[in-house]
Amino acid sequence: MTNRVLVGKIANGVYGLKVAKEGVDVTTAKATDLLFDSSIRRYGVIYAGGIVSGGTTSINFKSSKTELTYIPLVTYTEDNTGETYDNASSSSNDYDYMSRRNFHKFTKTTMQPYQMYFTADGNYGSSSKAAIAGRNKYTSSSALSNLSYRVLRIPCAYGYMTAANFASTGSTNRVIIGKNINSNHGYSSSSPGRGIYVSRAGKNVLTCDKDDLIFNTDTGQTGTNFVGKGVYQAMPVRTVNSIPRADFDLAVSTTTSSINLTNFYGGLSSTFSAPVIAGVSSASTIGGGVSTTPSISFSAGSLSSWSTSSQLQSLSFSTSSGSIAIQTAILPTFSTATYF
């Protein structure tokens, strides 16, 4: 048994909260062995998220929540990645080309699929800007496809990455364990919140705004009182020699290769579904007359119906011919109906 939680004095003159990984002593842990460290000025508290397929319309991730005071950091994966071009032979341009297909513009409330043109002139419409909403110049194949995103309460735009949003001076109360009656968090004496609440450095947890929390236990708040849905992290979905892993290397050929996963997310709520393959980096081993990289056939099986009573499932891969080595990572996703 090791010490995993440290509350109070965490360094000379510094007070807060630290939580170490399983099997690691928090009093001697390296930064990489900590699950949470209140000395970090901003944390990946999730403000919004979801998954979208089809179309190129703007996504309103604000919904009914209080609008952020800054443009946030958004992490996302999408099936449509890499470069794309359209051979418009009837146009004055031989090709329209974009080096990054999954290009987006972000505001305080939305993320919008965008396309980047070489120049802004009459050939591209009436806009005077080179960055244009939508992806119509690059055919329907560039429409949103399994865009899985998380909006984090971290400022990430010019003019917002300032001392006002990353202040760390001043000695103050930063951790509540138990009853929270801070009205700025949506609570009161008559309707308190109970749990653990940690404010960012320089902010008093007893009076600070919702956005100044870098950790809080969720109590099911909704609407304008919505604070966040935990800290952005991927839980391990498999183990190798008792070590948690979310990535894997797998040799794939015409004979089906499988890998076992554990779905920790299935029991959280009906809106959670199976983990998804976030991206595949492949290295082919071409032989036996095969002159091109083999295509991968992926079978998800019954992943969409995972439940707490049957958490162990398999992912199966095979090729039509030849063999290939794949290296990829697995992340949780949400149902297509979920914006939060």
pLDDT tens-digit readout, 173-198: 888 999 999 999 888 999 888 889 99
How far, in whole angstroms, is CA 193 from its chain's centroid?
Answer: 27
Are 148 and 52 contained in the same domain? yes
Are 51 and 150 contained in the same domain? yes
30 falls within a domain: yes
Q: Tell me: the pLDDT tens digits for 54-67? A: 777 788 998 888 89
DSSP 67-126: PPSSPEEEEEE-S--S-EEE--TTSSSS-EEES-SS-EEE-SSEEEEEEE-S--SGGG-S
How far, in whole angstroms, is CA 137 from its chain's centroid?
Answer: 28
pLDDT of residue 283: 45
Percent of the chain with pLDDT over 70: 60
Q: Tell me: the pLDDT tens digits for 92-106? A: 555 556 666 678 899
Q: How many domains does the chain have?
A: 4
**Are residues 246 and 59 in contact, defined by beta-carbon separation less than 8 angstroms?**
no
Residues 6 or more apart whose CB falls under 8 angstroms from that of 172 comprise 199, 202, 203, 204, 205
Are 113 and 204 contained in the same domain? no
How far, in whole angstroms, is CA 195 from its chain's centroid?
Answer: 24
Are 52 and 150 contained in the same domain? yes
Q: Domain boundary at 132, 154, 176, which?
A: 154
Mean pLDDT on 157-176:
85
Are 32 and 81 contained in the same domain? no
- How far, in Å, CA of 307 to CA of 173, rounded? 41
- 67 token code pair: 């609008």
**Are residues 39 and 15 in contact, defined by beta-carbon separation less than 8 angstroms?**
no
Instruction: Check pLDDT > 80 for residue 247.
Output: no
231 falls within a domain: no
Q: What count of Cα atoms within 13 Å lies in the side-chain half-sphere of residue 108?
A: 9
**193-199 β-sheet, strand order:** 175-180, 193-199, 213-216
185 falls within a domain: yes
Residues 6 or more apart whose CB falls under 8 angstroms from that of 212 comprise 199, 200, 203
pLDDT of residue 113: 86
**Are residues 312 and 261 in contact, defined by beta-carbon separation less than 8 angstroms?**
yes
306 falls within a domain: yes
Poorest-pLDDT segment among 56-70, 244-258, 289-303, 311-325: 289-303
Are 293 and 251 contained in the same domain? yes
Q: Which residues span the domain enclosing 246?
A: 238-331
pLDDT of residue 223: 67
Are 51 and 138 contained in the same domain? yes
Most confident of 9-18, 68-77, 260-269, 299-308: 68-77
Mean pLDDT on 124-129:
58
Instruction: Check pLDDT > 60 for residue 333.
Output: no
pLDDT of residue 292: 47
159 falls within a domain: no
- How far, in Å, CA of 200 to CA of 104, rounded? 29
Percent of the chain with pLDDT over 90: 14
Are 60 and 134 contained in the same domain? yes
**Are residues 321 and 290 in contact, defined by beta-carbon separation less than 8 angstroms?**
yes
Amino acid at 189: S
What burial class does residue 89 get, using C-beta atoms within 10 Å of its C-beta: 0-12 exposed, 13-18 middle, 19+ buried? exposed
Per the listing, tokens 């009205």 go with 183
Mean pLDDT on 260-265:
62
Measured on CA atoms in the order 67, 69, 70, 73, is the torsion positive or negative? negative
Instruction: Check pLDDT > 90 for residue 72.
Output: yes
Angle at 97 between CA 96 and CA 101, to 5 degrees: 125
Mean pLDDT on 256-263:
72
Mean pLDDT on 112-137:
66
pLDDT of residue 77: 75
Mean pLDDT on 267-284:
48
Are 150 and 171 contained in the same domain? no
Are 212 and 308 contained in the same domain? no
Mean pLDDT on 120-148:
65
Q: Domain boundary at 154, 179, 203, which?
A: 154
Are 149 and 124 contained in the same domain? yes
**Are residues 60 and 49 in contact, defined by beta-carbon separation less than 8 angstroms?**
no
- Going from the C-alpha of 222 to that of each of 68, 175, 186, 324, the distances in angstroms are 16, 23, 10, 47
